[in-house]
Structure 1
Amino acid sequence: MTRPPLTGFSVMVLGAAAGDAVVDAFVAAGARTTTSPDQRPAGAAPGPRWDVDAVVVGNLVGARILVDACRAAPPGGAPALRPDDVVVACTDAASVRHLVGAGLVPLVAVGPDAGPDAGPDAGPDAGTVAGAVAEHLLATRLRRVRTHAGLLEVRGHEVRLDGAALPLSPVPMALLRALSRSPGEVVDRHRLLATMHGASDLHAVEVAVARLRAGIGRAGVVETVVKRGYRLAVVDR
């Protein structure tokens, strides 16, 4: 049976509540959907965590929440939202203008020049936004890598090896996403460290790689390249 397109992906919707059309559209598409701007695990340091694949803004209030959260992030805390990290989308022109003015360029079907008085009706409907986000995530964040242990599929925050889901916590998951962007190629430890928000030394990378290998449970998938870094060992490149 075909899975919904956003199965395995995580989406945060700001400026909307459970039951709103934009939230329902992402739930129907299979995404793990939340409406809270606070994605910190219990006991974590203050500051927002963008442990999601997409942030969707439902209205101008949501746009302001997003911008304020980014500006409030402490040094060494949450990263700025980047096109290769978290996709931002919204459903009205006023939100587009607010985000663009703050330096965030959203993925939307309406431009920020839709007019100064443009309201919610100027934007695409919820289904259109969900479809645009799904198309973008499937094109940029769905990776299939053939390894000696079987087919490894990285789909947002879900990983499967030969069809079986792997239970990876956020840090090993971030490392695997970084490695999967360049399968078979060496990724140096400094690049991997940059994916680990709050970590400051290369020993943390070694620990995280050990956790990643334990989560995968199969030898030879993540290889160490001495004095250089790590890589996903692939076959049939």
Structure 2
Amino acid sequence: MTRPPLAGFSVMALGADAGDALVDAFAVLGARTSTGPDPRPAGPAPGPRWDVDAVVVGDLAGARVVVEACRAAPFGGVPPLRPDDVVVACTDAGAAQHLTGAGLVPLVPVGADAGADAGAVARAVAEHLLATRLRRVRTQAGLLEVRGHEVRLDGAPLQLSPVPMALLRALSRSPGEVVDRHRLLATMPGASDLHAVEVAVARLRAGIGRAGVVETVVKRGYRLAVVDR
């Protein structure tokens, strides 16, 4: 059976409630939808969780929340929401203007002053995510597919916690190429030293459960090994 196009992807709709047309439009496409950041369990990284693939802003209040989240950097680390990792879209012209004024470039499929149609936004976000966030890498252990926050190896889902998932997403952006430890460290909120990267890579390898997928390149970093690239 064919899977919905956004299966494995997570979308947050700010300024919308469950059952709204915007939320329903993404749910129909198979995305896991939410209407606000998830509370974060106690741990080294405070604040709510923004580990989603796209944020769709429906009003000015939501746009302000996005701007604040992009500017915040707890403990001098990375901000909780990074526009280079998360697609930001708008259904409201005023919200789009606020984001643009703050230096963010939202994906706005409809530019009418009255706002964008929910279905048009969902289709535009889906097209963008499938073009930029869906990665298939053939490894010696089989076909590795990364769809947003979902990973499958030869069709079987892998259960990865957020940090190993973030590392795999970073490695999958440049399959076969070395990603240095400092770049991987930047994907780990709350982590402050390179030893944390080594620990996270070990957890990633354990989660994959197959040898030879994530390779160590001595004194350089790590890479996602590919076959027939």
| TM-score by shorter chain over 0.5 | yes
Q: Distance in 2 between matches of 1:191 and 1:175?
A: 10
CA RMSD of aligned residues (A): 1.5
CA distances 1:1-40 after superposition (whole Å, capped 9, x unpaired): 1111110001111111101110111111111111113x34
How many angstroms apart in 2 are the aligned matches of 1:222 and 1:70? 30
Match of 2:216 among 216, 224, 231: 224
Matches within 5 A, 1:78-157: 78-82=79-83, 84-111=84-111, 118=113, 122-157=114-149
Q: Does the CA-based 8 Å contact 2:69-2:81 persist in structure 1?
A: no
Q: Is the 8 A contact 2:110 2:121 kept in 1?
A: no
User: Does structure 2 retain, via aligned residues, the 8 Å contact 1:10–1:157?
Assistant: yes
Alpha-carbon distance, 1:66 to partner: 2.0
Deviates more, 1:201-210 or 1:94-103: 94-103
Shift of 1:99: 1.0
**Deviation of 1:49 (Å):** 3.4
TM-score of the superposed pair, with normalisation by structure 1: 0.91
Shift of 1:73: 4.6
Structure 2 residue aligned with 1:2 = 2
Where in structure 1 are there 5+ consecutive unaligned residues?
none
Corresponding residue to 1:174 among 145, 166, 170:
166
2:23 — aligned with what? 23
Deviation of residue 160 (structure 1)?
0.2
Pairing 1:193–2:194 present: no
Would you say the 8 A contact 1:223–1:231 is kept in 2?
yes
**Structure 2 Cα separation of the partners of residues 231 and 31 of structure 1:** 29
Q: Residues 190 and 40 from structure 1, CA distance in 2 versus in 1: closer, same or farther, beyond 3 angstroms?
A: farther
Q: Which moved more, 1:129-138 or 1:98-107?
A: 98-107
Percentage of matched positions with identical amino acids: 82
Question: Residues 213, 233 of structure 1: CA spacing in aligned structure 2 closer, same or farther, 3 A cutoff?
Answer: same
Structure 1 position 76, deviation (Å): 1.9
The answer as to whether partners of 2:96 and 2:106 remain within 8 angstroms in 1 is yes
TM-score (norm 2): 0.94
Deviation at 1:46, TM superposition (A): 2.9
Residues of 2 paired with 1:46 and 1:198: CA distance?
9
The 3 A distance-change label for structure 1 pair 56 and 235 is same
Looking at structure 2, the residues matched to 5 and 179 of structure 1 have their Cα atoms a distance apart, in angstroms, of 23
C-alpha separation in 2, matches of 1:235 and 1:71 = 40
